[in-house]
């Protein structure tokens, strides 16, 4: 698991290779990941947007940008946490992801960016 704290918001990521949903012979490698978000700051905040950078070892690069996460824009009071699961496809056995979330402080509307730490996506058989 990797973690990073930006502006009092802690982001934790755990990734997993999904062998049952992958087809290596067709260059289709499926990975899931769980994101944990903890508001360790002193203000209530809302996650508004996400921006992902996805790379694989075959040289492919993708950007994903949009509102919220999994169709939600969670509001977190100080001390609260939120987690969600998502997934991505790669054309190779290894890659990385990182990015950022845009949050809004509820008290005054201040927008700020929270970094999502870089994490690895590695097919289980590559770890041996």
| Predicted pLDDT of residue 125 | 73
CATH hierarchy code of domain 2-127: 2.60.40.1470
Q: Which pTM does this prediction carry?
A: 0.94
| 22-48 per-position pLDDT tens digit | 999 999 999 999 999 999 999 999 999
The residues spanned by each domain of the chain are 2-127
Q: What is the mean pLDDT of the chain?
A: 96
Confidence at residue 82, expressed as pLDDT on a 0 to 100 scale: 98
Return the pLDDT at 124.
Answer: 84
Place of tokens 């930006």: 6
Asked if residue 111 lies in contact with residue 47, where contact means CB atoms within 8 angstroms, the answer is: no
State residue 81's pLDDT score: 98
Q: Given CA atoms 77, 78, 84, 86 in this order, what sign does their dihedral have? A: positive
Distance CA 105, CA 27 (A): 42
Q: How many CB atoms lie within 10 A of CB 128?
A: 4
């Amino acid at each position: 698991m990797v973690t990073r704290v930006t502006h009092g918001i802690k982001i934790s990521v755990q990734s997993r290779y999904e062998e049952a949903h992958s087809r290596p012979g067709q260059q289709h490698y499926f990975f899931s990941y769980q994101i944990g978000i903890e508001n360790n700051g002193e203000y209530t905040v809302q996650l508004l947007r996400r921006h992902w950078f996805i790379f694989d070892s075959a040289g492919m690069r993708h950007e994903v940008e949009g509102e919220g996460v999994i169709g939600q824009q969670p509001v977190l009071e100080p001390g609260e946490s939120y987690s969600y699961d998502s997934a991505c496809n790669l054309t190779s056995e290894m890659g990385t992801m990182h990015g950022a979330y845009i949050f809004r402080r509820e008290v005054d509307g201040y927008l700020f960016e929270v970094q999502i730490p870089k994490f690895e996506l590695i097919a289980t058989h590559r770890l041996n």
